[in-house]
């Protein structure tokens, strides 16, 4: 991986930051897209020879277009794109504002697809596109419907893109809860984070597995394994299992409409 160049979104915290550290430790060069000027500056100061940054909010179309302009002017060549930026809220559908709905779909799906569309011409043959999705894409998720819908769309996109571009390596990462600050935004009450504390995946271990997956051209990473196996069974009998395990499915139902 020494000398390889990757473009990564949402790289200033959580899993994204862990992947940046993993890539840099293996000798790769990383261009990080993020919103926080302060966090981007700290990353660049820590790895001045291995990292550059683009400050952009993927929820703002004009800032995404600025990325397009930078690509056109600089004509970079990448060995991979890692689409990691994303967020969601754990509350009922009707508790989401119209702005919530727009922003979640826009960041998690629409602008991710737009960025992929503009970056593919700058990828070497056999480069990797990694889409960080969620196990929520595979299961009925009440009180997280918008987030789940955006991730289901992203997983479906990954599968289609893989078949359209056999010259590229497309990997989908679908995980359960990860030990990051995601929950502080998704559920300010801290209830869900408390319920899943013992189940949360270590972000550094997951980052290592994702980068290993790039090297081995893995097509999917589903973690934790027990959740993936359970959801594979669920997909055979979804309505029956929803009825039998209704309480578990309603684990995010702690908001007030």
The residues annotated with a catalytic role in the active site are: 147
The region that residue 165 occupies, defined by phi over 0 for left and psi between -120 and 50 for alpha, beta otherwise, is beta
Query: Could you tell me which residues come within 8 angstroms of residue 146 by beta carbon, excluding any fewer than 6 positions away?
Result: 88, 89, 93, 96, 100, 101, 104, 105
Q: Taking the CB of residue 79, how many other CB atoms lie within 10 A of it? A: 18
Distances 198 to 39, 176, 194, 246 between C-alpha atoms, Å: 29, 12, 8, 21
User: In sequence order, what E strands does the chain have?
Assistant: 5-9, 29-34, 51-55, 78-83, 123-132, 169-175, 220-223
- State whether the Cα torsion 247-250-255-256 is positive or negative: negative
**What does the CA dihedral 155, 225, 215, 2 come to, rounded to 10 degrees?**
100
The Cα–Cα gap between 219 and 144 comes to: 26
The Cα–Cα gap between 252 and 142 comes to: 7
CA 181 from chain center: how many Å?
Answer: 14
- State whether the Cα torsion 232-190-142-149 is positive or negative: negative
């Amino acid at each position: 991986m020494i000398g390889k160049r990757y473009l990564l979104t949402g790289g200033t915290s959580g899993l994204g930051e862990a992947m940046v550290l993993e890539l840099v430790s293996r000798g790769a060069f990383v261009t990080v897209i993020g919103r926080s000027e302060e966090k981007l500056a700290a990353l660049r100061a820590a790895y001045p020879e291995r990292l550059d940054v683009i400050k952009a909010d993927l929820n703002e179309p004009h800032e995404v277009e600025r990325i397009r302009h930078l690509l056109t002017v600089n004509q970079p060549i990448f060995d991979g794109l890692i689409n990691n930026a994303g967020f969601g809220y754990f509350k009922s559908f009707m508790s989401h504002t119209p702005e919530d709905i727009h922003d979640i779909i826009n960041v998690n799906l629409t602008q991710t697809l737009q960025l992929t569309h503009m970056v593919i011409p700058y990828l070497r043959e056999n480069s990797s596109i990694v889409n960080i999705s969620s196990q929520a894409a595979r299961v009925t998720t009440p009180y997280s419907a918008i987030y789940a819908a955006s991730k289901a769309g992203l997983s479906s996109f990954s599968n289609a893109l893989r078949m359209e571009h056999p010259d590229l390596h497309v990997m989908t990462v679908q995980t359960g809860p990860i030990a990051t600050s995601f929950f502080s935004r998704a559920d300010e009450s801290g209830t869900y984070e408390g319920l899943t504390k013992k189940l949360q995946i270590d972000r550094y271990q997951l980052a290592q597995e994702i980068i290993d997956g790039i090297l081995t051209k893995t097509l999917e990473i589903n973690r934790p394994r027990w959740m993936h196996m359970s959801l594979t069974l669920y997909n055979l009998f979804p309505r029956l299992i929803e009825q039998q395990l209704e309480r578990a499915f309603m684990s995010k139902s702690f908001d007030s409409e």
